Amino acid sequence: DILRVVTNEFSGLHTKEEKYNPFPWYKNMREKHPVYYDSKQGVWNVFLYEDAKRVISDKDAFSSKKSKELPLQNITNIDPPDHTRLRSLVSKAFTPKIVANWEPRIQDFTKGLLDQISKKNTIDIVEDLAYPLPVMVIAELLGIPTSDRNQFKEWSNSLVAGPSSTEDIQETINQKNKATSELKEYFSHIIQEKRKKSLEDIISVLIQAEENEGKLSAEELLSFCIVLLVAGNETTTNLISNAVYSFVENKTVWETLKQDPTLIPNAVEETLRYRSPVQVLPRRVKMDTEISGYKLTSGQLVFAWIGSANRDENKFSNPEYFDLKRNPNDHLTFGKGIHFCLGAPLARLEAKIALSELIKRYSTISIKEGYQIDPIESSFMNGLKSLPVIVE
Ligand code: HEM
């Protein structure tokens, strides 16, 4: 079962440095084992762009039903026709017009966070900005009190965590189950309140979809709220901190962006490719199929390593280079096909605003001396727990 797979068992990514910089290992896998079967755990792994793209988008051959043990059925782990119906309903809360309306609020939150640290010259990008911003935004969008946001973070951390060793497996599953039942109770309460008094937030929009059309079940509404919380938090935190890390790693970038802020959306896009917050997407083989001559059997698990696909030399020229002007930039970071990330416009907007505000305020930025890479504990995400920088 997907919840019981430990990628570190075969990945050769053990040190903190290797976990945050898996790219040399990916390159090696693309060259030597582009389609790799981990026989111990019975899992296929694909590292090339074309293969990863097919695995995540060929819905007839690869299913999103990855686990029987997952505590919650939700949009990310169902297939058509259920997925098609649910997706068309919840998309109503994510139209470009609705997303654009959020811009001033995101701007206010960002400025508020940076004002709080305006007197300091050493700041922590994660703690001071990348971590609080997405959770404030999602709390606002869902129309729930910002005061609950620490609890929110704890829940979403438990739900995205993957086991780092075989011994951890049961504990991680227990944690997920606990977080899920607490979240269900929390959101049931909120939804009840909003049924009485409808506002303009996403939950209220979805309650209308449920009540008017009777197509969205109460259970689906509840699990969608939980998905939004989980899918939109840690990923966006990682995008913002990975962007800043990429800027300090590639020294001319900050200066270039300061001179020409219209390049900031490109910088966001290139960060998405270069250091994807999500590195691996799992699927289950739905019907026997072949990849590059290897036979995959119905029921087997496949990992699409999108972090590697994004650096595939067959797809991107000079892939190990952070190129502010890369065009086209057809990375797989938000997925591909019917499950394409619903929150992509929002994630891009948040990152654009956060980075613009940082670049506007500070003329230089550098990593604090003595900093040791501090990656988050997740086998399928790429991000930092802390990133202390000196700003002037
Ligand atoms: C789906 C990545 C931010 C909501 C996905 C998928 C990826 C992804 C790769 C597809 C999963 C699959 O094919 O199995 C990211 C990244 C983000 C981000 C890298 C930030 C940089 C957000 C935000 C929200 C969000 C901010 C909402 C507030 C969703 C939802 C789905 C999804 C609802 C499920 C769509 C479906 O299954 O039809 N995301 N996401 N994401 N994302 Fe995001």
Q: What is the pLDDT of residues 298-352, one digit of tens each?
A: 999 999 999 999 999 999 999 999 999 999 999 999 999 999 999 999 999 999 9
Using only C-alpha atoms, the chain has a radius of gyration, in whole angstroms, of 21
CA 87 – ligand 1 centroid, Å:
12
Q: Is the pLDDT of residue 240 over 90?
A: yes
Range with the poorest average pLDDT among 121-135, 212-226, 377-391: 212-226
Q: What ligand 1 atom has the least distance to the C-alpha of 134?
A: 26
Q: Is the pLDDT of residue 195 over 80?
A: yes
Q: What ligand 1 atom has the least distance to the C-alpha of 348?
A: 21
CA 78 – ligand 1 centroid, Å:
14
Per-residue b or e along 75-91, where b marks 16 or more CB atoms closer than 10 Å to that residue's CB: bbbbbeeebeebbebbe
CA 232 – ligand 1 centroid, Å:
7
Give φ, ψ of 35 to 5 degrees. Answer: -125, 110
Q: In testing the pocket of ligand 1, which one of 341, 348, 382 has its CB within 8 Å of the most ligand atoms? A: 341
d(CA 179, CA 177): 6
d(CA 72, CA 86): 15
d(CA 152, CA 160): 12
CA 29 – ligand 1 centroid, Å:
26
Segment 91-116 mean pLDDT = 91
- Residue 1: CB atoms within 10 Å: 12
37-52 confidence digits (pLDDT tens)? 999 888 999 999 999 9
| Residue 157 pLDDT | 80
Confidence grade of residue 392 (pLDDT, cut at 50, 70, 90): very high
Q: 195 versus 47: which is more confidently predicted?
A: 47
| Residue 76 pLDDT | 93
Per-residue b or e along 248-285, where b marks 16 or more CB atoms closer than 10 Å to that residue's CB: bebeebbeebeeeeebbebbbbbbbbbbbbbbbbbbbb
| Residue 141 pLDDT | 87
Give the closest residue (by CA) to ligand 1 atom 42: 341
CA 333 – ligand 1 centroid, Å:
9
28-37 confidence digits (pLDDT tens)? 999 999 999 9
| Residue 66 pLDDT | 86
Please give the angle made by the CA atoms of 16, 29 and 371, to the nearest 5 degrees: 20
Give the closest residue (by CA) to ligand 1 atom 30: 342
Give the closest residue (by CA) to ligand 1 atom 43: 341
Q: What ligand 1 atom has the least distance to the C-alpha of 227?
A: 33
| Residue 146 pLDDT | 75
| pTM score of the predicted model | 0.95
- The sign of the dihedral angle between the CA atoms of 139, 67, 298, 85 is negative
Ligand 1: list residues with CB < 6 Å: 56, 64, 75-76, 87, 138, 227-228, 231-232, 235-236, 239, 277-278, 281, 333-335, 339, 341-343, 346-347
| Residue 213 pLDDT | 63
What is the maximum span of the chain, computed from C-alpha positions, in angstroms?
A: 61
5-20 confidence digits (pLDDT tens)? 777 777 878 899 999 9
CA 391 – ligand 1 centroid, Å:
32
| Residue 95 pLDDT | 82
With pLDDT > 70 as the criterion, what percentage of the chain qualifies? 98
Q: 143 versus 293: which is more confidently predicted?
A: 293
With pLDDT > 90 as the criterion, what percentage of the chain qualifies? 65
Q: Is the pLDDT of residue 260 over 90?
A: yes
Give the closest residue (by CA) to ligand 1 atom 36: 339
CA 370 – ligand 1 centroid, Å:
35
Q: What ligand 1 atom has the least distance to the C-alpha of 340?
A: 10
Give the closest residue (by CA) to ligand 1 atom 38: 339
d(CA 132, CA 126): 8
| Residue 7 pLDDT | 76
Q: What amino acid is encoded at 309 in this protein?
A: A
CA 362 – ligand 1 centroid, Å:
31
| Residue 214 pLDDT | 60
CA 335 – ligand 1 centroid, Å:
8
Answer yes or no: are the C-beta atoms of 312 and 289 closer than 8 Å: no
CA 168 – ligand 1 centroid, Å:
26
Give the closest residue (by CA) to ligand 1 atom 25: 343
What average pLDDT does the chain have?
A: 92
Give the closest residue (by CA) to ligand 1 atom 5: 341
Whole-complex ipTM: 0.99
CA 341 – ligand 1 centroid, Å:
4
Closest C-alpha to 240, from 358, 153, 322, 147: 358
